[in-house]
């Protein structure tokens, strides 16, 4: 069991620290809104990770192999969502900078931040495929409920620690002041990244 969890921690840890849509969501929330908004986004990411982790333990890869259309649906929805999110950011970046800095830090509804983090994870089938591959590689033939829950807990814990650290560090006054000065450019960059992720997701087979 210890060796299995160590393998999961290593593989998932590498995946978590690799920049992707989740990182962009947390970064944008921390800089454009507040550390609290970023923390809610992290909670959404953790919930989405728990969902994919549980699905992986229950045999997500088997479902994708048995019904390839399910993967196509996930990929299409996920790509469209990321493109929509990116286009929204690009549209926001067109607006001139607000002279009142505190307006950028205005609190946003918690449920929206949670939903954005959750949807960013769950609409990305590559996350599901990676989880399925990882679980298939490290899980014994008869894992048992305890080991399955432990794997999900490790995944959720690592995601929470990493993205929580990102949210905390970028929520400091220094990074936020820099963001206010370069808001339009950074939002355009974030929007472009989301659109590229979405297009790549839709284009890959």
- The total of structural domains in the chain comes to 1
Q: What angle do CA 169, 6, 18 make, to 5 degrees?
A: 40
Q: What is the pLDDT of residues 118-139, one digit of tens each?
A: 999 988 777 777 787 777 667 6
3-state secondary structure the chain: CHHHHHHHHHHHHHHHHCCCHHHHHHHHHHHHCCHHHHHHHHHHHHHHHHHHHHHHHHCHHHHHHHCHHHHHHHHHHHHHHHHHHHHHHHHHHCCCCCCCHHHHCCCCCHHHHHHHHHHHHHCCHHHHHHHHHHHHHHCCCCCHHHHHHHHHHHHHHHHHHHHHHHHHHHCCHHHHHHHHHCHHHHHHHHHHHHHHHHHHHHHCC
Instruction: Please say if the pLDDT value at position 164 is more than 90.
Output: yes
Global pTM value:
0.72
Range of the domain at 39: 2-203
Instruction: Please say if the pLDDT value at position 39 is more than 90.
Output: yes
Grouping H, G, I as helix, E, B as strand and the rest as coil, residue 20 is coil
Q: What is the mean pLDDT of residues 161-172?
A: 89
Instruction: Please say if the pLDDT value at position 1 is more than 70.
Output: no
Q: What is the mean pLDDT of residues 4-11?
A: 86
Q: What is the mean pLDDT of residues 145-149?
A: 83
pLDDT of residue 162: 93
Q: What is the pLDDT of residues 77-125, one digit of tens each?
A: 777 877 887 898 788 777 665 444 333 344 567 889 999 999 999 887 7
pLDDT of residue 65: 67
């Amino acid at each position: 069991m210890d060796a299995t969890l160590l393998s999961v921690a290593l593989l998932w840890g590498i995946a978590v620290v690799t920049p992707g849509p989740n990182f962009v969501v947390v970064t944008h929330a921390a800089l454009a809104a507040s550390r609290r908004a970023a923390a809610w986004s992290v909670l959404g990411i953790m919930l989405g990770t728990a969902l994919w982790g549980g699905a992986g333990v229950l045999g997500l890869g088997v479902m994708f192999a048995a019904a390839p259309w399910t993967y196509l649906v996930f990929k299409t929805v996920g790509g469209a969502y990321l493109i929509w999110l990116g286009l929204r950011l690009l549209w926001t970046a067109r607006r001139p900078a607000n002279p009142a800095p505190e307006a950028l830090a205005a609190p946003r509804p918690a449920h929206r931040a949670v939903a954005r983090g959750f949807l960013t994870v769950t609409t990305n089938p590559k996350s599901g495929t990676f989880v399925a591959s990882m679980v298939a590689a490290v899980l014994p033939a008869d894992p048992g409920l305890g080991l399955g829950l432990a794997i999900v807990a490790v995944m959720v814990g690592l995601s929470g620690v990493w993205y929580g650290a990102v949210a905390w560090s970028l929520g400091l006054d220094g990074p936020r002041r820099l963001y206010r000065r370069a808001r339009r450019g950074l939002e355009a960059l974030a929007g472009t990244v989301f659109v590229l992720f979405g297009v790549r997701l839709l284009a890959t087979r």
